[in-house]
C-alpha cells in the first residue's frame, strides 16, 4: 500500500501546519503511506485524522493505512487564485471519494473525468510533502 512518490521542485505555496498528533500523518506521507484515524468504539474511519471520533466522540482511535484508491467526484480548474498560488495558475483541484468511504479534496494532476478511478500520490516538495490524485486505468 505504498503511494507513488513524485519528487517536486520548490517549496509548498501554503504549507500545512503540523501538530504532535498530525505529525504521524505527514511523516507517513513522506514514506509513501496515507494514514488516517479509525474509531475503536464505532469503527468508522475519519479524514483528516482526528484525536476524537467525529461520529461518536470517542477519544479512542487508532491509525490505519488507506489504499489511496478512489473515484473523482468533482473537479474544477482555477484560473484566478490567491496571491501565493499565482505561479501555479491555472491548476486543477477536485473532490475524491476513497474506496474506504471517505471524501477528501486535493489537487488533481491530470484531466481525469468524473467518476473515473484515481490514486493518491505523494508530492515530495523540498520543504515537506503534499498529496494529489491522478487517473489510473479502470
Partner 1 sequence: MTRSNNVAILGGAATPVGKLQGVSEDGTQQLEHEVLGRLIVEALADAGLEKEDVGSMIFTLPRPYTQQKYFATFMANYMRLPCDGLVMEVLGNGMTPALTFQVAVDQVRLGRTKVALALGINFETGTPAPEHMMSSMRATGDVDFHTPFGFTPISWYAMDAVRYIHEHGSSREDLAMVAVKNRRHASLNPLAQFRKPMTLEDVLAQRPIVDPLGLYEVPGRGDGAVCLVIAEEEIARKTGRPYARIRGEGFYHEGAHQISEVPNDMIAFEAARRAGAKAFAEAGVSAGDLDLAEIYAPCTIVEVLVAEALGLCPRGQGARQAASGETALGGRIPICTSGGLLSLGHPAYVTALYSYYELLEQLRHRGGERQVKGAELGLACTELGNYNAAMVHVLEAAA
Q: Which distant-in-sequence residues (6+ apart) come within 8 Å of 31 by Cβ?
A: 2
Is the torsion defined by CA of 109, 110, 114, 117 positive or negative? negative
- How far apart CA 114 and CA 66 sit, in angstroms, is 21
Burial tier of 134 (Cβ tally within 10 Å: 0-12, 13-18, 19+): middle
| Shortest reach from residue 54's CB to partner 1, in Å | 8
In the list 23, 103, 111, 136, the residue contacting partner 1 (rule: CB under 8 A) is 103
- By CB under 8 A, residue 56 contacts partner 1: no
User: Which lies closer to partner 1 via its Cβ, residue 58 or residue 86?
Assistant: 86
Q: Taking CB under 8 A as the rule, does residue 66 contact partner 1?
A: no
Interface residues with partner 1 (CB under 8 A)?
12-18, 22, 46-48, 54, 73-86, 88, 90-91, 93-95, 97, 101-107, 114-115, 130, 132
Amino acid at each position: 500500500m505504498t503511494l507513488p512518490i513524485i519528487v517536486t521542485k520548490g517549496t509548498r505555496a501554503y504549507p500545512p501546519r503540523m501538530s504532535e498528533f498530525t505529525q504521524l500523518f505527514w511523516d507517513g506521507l513522506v514514506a509513501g503511506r496515507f494514514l488516517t484515524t479509525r474509531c475503536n468504539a464505532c469503527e468508522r474511519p475519519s479524514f483528516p485524522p482526528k484525536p476524537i471520533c467525529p461520529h461518536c466522540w470517542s477519544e479512542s482511535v487508532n491509525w490505519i493505512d488507506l489504499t489511496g484508491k478512489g473515484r473523482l467526484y468533482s473537479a474544477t480548474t482555477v484560473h484566478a487564485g490567491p496571491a501565493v498560488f499565482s505561479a501555479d495558475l491555472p491548476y486543477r483541484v477536485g473532490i475524491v471519494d476513497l474506496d474506504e468511504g471517505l471524501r477528501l479534496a486535493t489537487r488533481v494532476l491530470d484531466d481525469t473525468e468524473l467518476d473515473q478511478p484515481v490514486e493518491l500520490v505523494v508530492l515530495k516538495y523540498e520543504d515537506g510533502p503534499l498529496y494529489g490524485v491522478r487517473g489510473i486505468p479502470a
